[in-house]
Structure 1
Amino acid sequence: MSLPAARSRLTPEFRTTAFYFTFYMGPGAATMFLPIWLSEKGITTEQIGIINAVPVFVILALNLIVGRLADRASDWRQVIVIGALIAGIVPIGLFFVNTFWGILLFWTLAAMPAGAIGPVLDAATMRMTRRNGSDFGTIRAWGTVGYMLFNGITGFLVVWFGSVIFVPLFVGLTLLRAALSLQLPAFRAPPDQVTVAAIRPTAGKLMEIITKPWFFLPLVGFAIIFGTHIILNAFASLLWKEQGISEDIIGPLIALGAAAEAGMMFVWKRFGGRVPARHMILISALASVARWAAMAFSPPVWVLLFLQLTHGVTYALGYLGCVHFIANWTSEDIAAETQSLFTVLQQVASVVALVGFGWLVALHGAYAFLFAALAAAIGALCIWLSLKLMQPKEDAITVG
C-alpha cells in the first residue's frame, strides 16, 4: 500500500476512534480492581467512597471553565490533548503512596484532567460526525470496547500476578491514552467547507436554553440515573467478592455490562433517528429501577449475567439520548460548554451517590441498591415531567 493511500485511510473519524479506544482503558481497569486494591491497603468502605467522590467533586469546579475555554479556542483538540497529557503523567505518583491521604491526592490529580476533557471530546466528536455525515455512536462505542477489554483482562492479570500489577497497568494505560491524543484531528470545520449535515439553528447562549424546564429536567433526571451507575463501578466488585464471587468471574461480569453498552452504541444508528430522545432517556430510567432492585437481593451469578446485559438499556440508551438531545438544541459556539454542564450535573449526582452509598453499604450491604432504585425512580419522574411540559416534536434524535 502506498503512503498516500495509507494516509487516506486515517480519516478524522478513524483517528478519533483510536483515541476513544484508549480513553476508558484505565477506568476499565480501575472499575475492576480499585475497590479491592484499596481494601487490601486497609482503606474502609467509607474511605473508598471518598476516594471515588473527591475527584468528581473537584472536577465540578473545572468542567464549565474547561468547556468554555474549549469553545473559545481555535479548535477543541487543543484542550483535549493538554488534558490527556497531564492525565498520563500524574498517575506515576501512585507508585510512591500507600496511605489514604496519599492515594486520595494522586487519584484526584490523575482523574481531574481526564474527567474535564471527557465532555469536550463528546461535544467535539458529535459536531464532527454530524457535519461529515458519520456516526457518533459507532465511534463512542469503541471507547466502551476499550473499557470492557480491561474490565476482563485486569481480573485475569490480578489472578496471575497478584494485586501488585494494578498500579503499573493503570499508569501504562494512561500513558497510552496520552500518546494517542497527539494524533487527534482538528474537529472544527474550515469556514468554507461544504458539509453533509448542517447543525440546526438554535439558541446561541447557554442561559437561553438551560433555563427552559423541559430542557433541563431530562438532563437532571439522567444525571441521577448516571449517579446510580457510578456506585456500581465503585462498589460492585467489592460486594460481589464478599458474596464469594472470585476476581476471574467479577472481571468478565463487569465486562459484560460494557459489552452490552458497546452493542447498543453500535446499533444505535439503525433506530435512534426514529424515536424521540426523551423517550429513550425515560426507558433507561425505568429499566434502572428494575436493575437496582434486583441487585439488592445478592442474586446468583446467572442472574447477575442477565442484569449486566441490561446495561445497554440502563446506561447507553439514556446517555446517547442525552448527547443527541443536547446537540439538537444547542449551537456549535456553546457545544462543549453545554455538554460540560450536563457532565457537572452527573458529577453532582455522583458525589452524593458515592459518599452516601459508601455509608449505606457499611450499614446494609447489598440492600443499599434499594436506595439506588429509589433514586432512579426520581430520575424517571423528572423525565416524565419534561414530556408533560413539552411533547417531543422537534427534539427527535437526528443522526448523521
Structure 2
Amino acid sequence: MSRALTLSQPTPTTRATLFYLTFYMAPGASVMFLPIWLSEKGITPEQIGIINAVPIFVILLFNLFIGRIADRASDWRQVIVIGALIAGIVPIGLFFVSEFWGVLLLWTLTVLPIGAITPVLDAAVMRLATRTGGDYGFIRAFGTVGYMVFNGLTGFLVVWYGPAVFVPLFVGLALLRALVSLQLPAFRAPAEEPTVAAVTGKVTASSLREIAKPWFILPLFGFCMIFGTHLVLNAFGSLLWKEQGISEAVIGPLIAIGAFSEAFVMFVWRRFGGRVTARNLILVSALASVLRWLAMGFAPDVAWLLLLQATHGITFALGFMGCVHFIANWTDEGIAAETQSLFVVGQQIFSIIAVTGFGALVPLLGAQAYFVASAFALVGAFCIWLSLRMQPPKAG
C-alpha cells in the first residue's frame, strides 16, 4: 500500500508546475481591471501611475537582499513560501481602502513580496529541472497560461457580475497561490547528491566576484534593454493601436496572440534550446526585436500586427529563457537566486527608463516612437555580440 501511495504522489516537477500555474493568475486579473477599479474609486490617472510605479522602486531596493537571503537559507523553498503567504494575506486589506494613500500602501505591500520572490522561484525551478532532467521551459509556460486565462476571464466576470467582483477575485487568486505554495518541494540537491555541474565537470562560479566581468554582464545588460522595449508595448501599445483606428474588440486578441506566442516557445523550448548556445539565442531575440519595433514604427495594419505579435515568443520568451539558462550554466547553487535577482533588477531599471522615456516620446512621435525602441534593441544586440567575442560559449 505504501508503494502505491508513493507512486500516486505528484513529482517535485509537477508541484512546481502547479505553483507556476497559479503564480501569475492574480497579476493577469489586475492588468485587466486594476486601472478601471482605481478610476472608479476617484483616483486620478496621475495617481494610478504612482500606484503602479512605487512598487517597482521598492522591489529594486529589496531584490538583491532577498536573493542573498534565499541563497543563504537551507532551501529556496522557505523564502518562496513566506513571500507567497504574505502576498496572499495583505490584499485582504483592499476590501477596506478606497482613497489614494491607503491603496498605494496596500498595493505596494501586495506586489513587493511577489516581485521579490520571482527571481528566486525562477532560479530554484531552473535548478530543480536541471537536477531531475525536467523541462524548465515547459514548467514556466504554465505561468503564462495562468496569466493569459485570467487576463481574458476577468473581463467576462466583470461584465457578468459588475466591477465589485474584482477585489474578491484578486484576493481569492492571491490566497490560492499562497495555499499552493505550501505543497512546493525542496529545490536544492541533497548534500549527498552531486549536482549536474559536478557530474559533468562543468566549471561554475561560486561568488558574484567571479562573474563580475564584462563578458558575463553584457548579455544580461543587453537583454534588459530588450526587456525595456517590450514595456513600451505593454504601456502604450493599446493606446497607439486605438489612435490608428483599431477597435478594442481587435486590440484584445492582438494582446492575447503575444501571450500565446510566449507560452508556445516555452512549451517547445526543450526541442531546440539545447542545440543552440544561450547567448546565441539571446542574440536572435535581440535582432528579432530590432526588426519587430522597426516594423511597428510604420503603424502597420491589423494583418501585419497579427504577424508582428506572433513574434513575441522570439523577441521576449526566447531571450528570457536564454538568460535564465545562461545564468544557470555559469553559476552554482550558492549564488543562483542572487544572480537571478541581479538580472531582474536590471530589467526593472530599464523598465522604468523605457516607460518614463517613451511616455514623453509617444505624444510627440506616435507610432514612430517604436523607431527609438528599435535603436535601443540594436544597442542591446551589440552588447550580446560583444560578449560572444570576449568569451566563447562553453563546449557542449
- After TM superposition, the score normalised by the length of structure 2 is 0.90
Structure 2 matches for 1:311-350, cutoff 5 A? 311-350=312-351
Report the counterpart of residue 291 of structure 1 in structure 2: 292
Mapped contact 1:56–1:350 kept (Cα < 8 A): no
Structure 2 matches for 1:265-304, cutoff 5 A? 265-304=266-305
Distance 1:229 1:12 in 2: 32
**Alignment of 1:57 onto 2:57:** yes
Per-residue deviation at 1:322? 0.3
Mapped contact 1:151–1:254 kept (Cα < 8 A): no
Distance 2:56 2:265 in 1: 26
**Alignment of 1:116 onto 2:133:** no
C-alpha spacing 1:107/1:7, structure 2 compared with 1 (3 Å): farther
Structure 2 matches for 1:231-246, cutoff 5 A? 231-241=232-242, 245=246
C-alpha spacing 1:27/1:368, structure 2 compared with 1 (3 Å): farther
Structure 2 matches for 1:40-79, cutoff 5 A? 47-79=47-79
C-alpha spacing 1:306/1:232, structure 2 compared with 1 (3 Å): same
C-alpha spacing 1:366/1:98, structure 2 compared with 1 (3 Å): farther
Q: Which runs of 5+ in 1 are unaligned?
A: none
Report the counterpart of residue 11 of structure 1 in structure 2: 11
Per-residue deviation at 1:360? 3.3
> Aligned with 1:87: secondary structure?
helix
> Aligned with 1:274: secondary structure?
coil
Mapped contact 1:22–1:177 kept (Cα < 8 A): yes
Distance 1:335 1:69 in 2: 11
Q: Identify the range of structure 1 (25-34 vs 2-11) with the bigger mean alpha-carbon deviation.
A: 2-11
Mapped contact 1:37–1:163 kept (Cα < 8 A): yes
Report the counterpart of residue 229 of structure 1 in structure 2: 230
Q: Identify the range of structure 1 (353-362 vs 76-85) with the bigger mean alpha-carbon deviation.
A: 353-362
Structure 1 vs Structure 2 CA RMSD: 2.6
Per-residue deviation at 1:13? 0.2
Task: Provide the identity percentage.
Answer: 69
What amino acid does structure 1 have at the position aligned with 2:358?
F
Per-residue deviation at 1:84? 0.6
C-alpha spacing 1:145/1:214, structure 2 compared with 1 (3 Å): same
Per-residue deviation at 1:183? 0.7
Report the counterpart of residue 381 of structure 2 in structure 1: 380
Mapped contact 1:32–1:254 kept (Cα < 8 A): no
Report the counterpart of residue 202 of structure 1 in structure 2: 204
Aligned length: 394
Report the counterpart of residue 214 of structure 1 in structure 2: 215
C-alpha spacing 1:175/1:298, structure 2 compared with 1 (3 Å): farther
> What does the per-residue CA deviation read over 1:314-366, in whole Å, with 9 as the maximum and x for residues that have no partner?
11000010000000000111111111111111111112222333343444444
Q: Identify the range of structure 1 (69-78 vs 224-233) with the bigger mean alpha-carbon deviation.
A: 224-233
Distance 2:66 2:122 in 1: 13
Distance 1:242 1:48 in 2: 22
> What does the per-residue CA deviation read over 1:82-105, in whole Å, with 9 as the maximum and x for residues that have no partner?
101111122233334444444333
Q: Which runs of 5+ in 2 are unaligned?
A: none
Mapped contact 1:257–1:309 kept (Cα < 8 A): yes
Per-residue deviation at 1:180? 0.8
Mapped contact 1:54–1:351 kept (Cα < 8 A): no
